[in-house]
Amino acid sequence: MDQKADVVVIGRVCIDLYPEQFGVGLEEITSFSKSIGGSATNVAVAAAQLGNSVRLISRVGDDPFGEYAKNEIARLGVDNTGITAVAGMKSVLTFCEVFPPDNFPLYIYREPTAPDMYINGDELPLDLIAKSPIFWATATGLSKEPTQSAHIMAWEKRGRKPNTILDLDYRPMFWKDEDQAHQAVSTALDHVTVTVGNLEECRVAVGETDPDRATEALLDRGVELAIVKMGPEGVMARTRTQRVESKPIPVDVINGLGAGDAFGGALCHALLRGMSLQETLDLANAAGALVATRPQCSLAMPSWDELHEFSVQAHGIPAN
């Protein structure tokens, strides 16, 4: 097995069944499009579409949807050798309603749990995780065992190497309660060097919703780069020596569900190329805005040429 990857991503996979009719509820929708999804999967695809080598670690159901997911992930440029099926389980299905510009209700069928909650530490490519330039994980992966222990094992092997990224990714449906999420994320903060989250996710992680206080609290925990998505105020990033903001980009939103994952993939791309903090944030912000103008998630992730052209128009990002 080839033990090389620019980015290793661990996390959930699902099958997105998104409506082909917008502005109506599920009870009125008559047809759906099928694509792969799940936050970690979308980030992996986004980074791969920008030209990076990416390995995804996850688990799927032992069913035709699981086979579809593995095949589609490979078709979109991601190494799928880290994806295995869980015997007797069904793959996760995600339906949504689309009410542009800012209402996209999700209905996720992963009860009582999901295959990606059965990622086992003894099956991880630990040497690859340790040496890859970027390792991306999400807080959702900490919500149950055995995947929580697998994440800790991966981080311990990596040893808080630079660009060990945690998407704070708080979704109440995956947790027993908010305190459980806070405790799990607090443990994770001892292992990671980059965090990405919105104001609500920062509140769960460190008890702060003010962007500056939240990033300061994250830096105090040993994080080297803290990124806070501030909604209509744009995005802010802080290190111990820099503070930069990227202003919101006005677009006609079709589906905002994939925007954050596009942000993540572009963030990985920029970090791999050593772009300045301002360029990094602007590029990631542009990726999110661009994908929000498209109807799906994984299939909406742009190529480098598409993103670069859009970024130049939005922020004046130089070629890199």
The DSSP-derived string for 235-278 is: EEEE-SS-EEEE-------S--TTHHHHHHHHHHHHHHTT--HH
The predicted structure's pLDDT at residue 1: 46
Q: Which amino acid, 155?
A: W
**Percent above pLDDT 70 for the chain:** 98
Q: Given a cut of 90, is residue 154 above it in pLDDT? A: yes
Q: pLDDT digit string (tens) for 191-247? A: 999 999 999 999 999 999 999 999 999 999 999 999 999 988 999 999 999 999 999
Mean pLDDT, the chain, rounded, equals 95
Rounded CA-CA distance 271/267 in Å is 6
Rounded CA-CA distance 53/244 in Å is 28
Report which of residues 1 and 241 the model is more confident about: 241
Global pTM value: 0.95
Q: pLDDT digit string (tens) for 28-40? A: 999 999 999 999 9
The owner of tokens 């791969």 is: 48
Q: Please, which pLDDT band fits residue 318 given cuts at 50, 70 and 90? A: low
Q: Which of 234, 171, 170, 161 is nearest to 194 (CA)?
A: 161
Contact partners, residue 34, CB within 8 Å, separation at least 6: 15, 16, 17, 68
Count, residues in the chain: 320
* Domains of the chain, CATH where assigned: 7-13+39-90+117-315 (3.40.1190.20)
Q: Given a cut of 70, is residue 317 above it in pLDDT? A: no
Q: Which of 236, 228, 235 is nearest to 201 (CA)?
A: 228
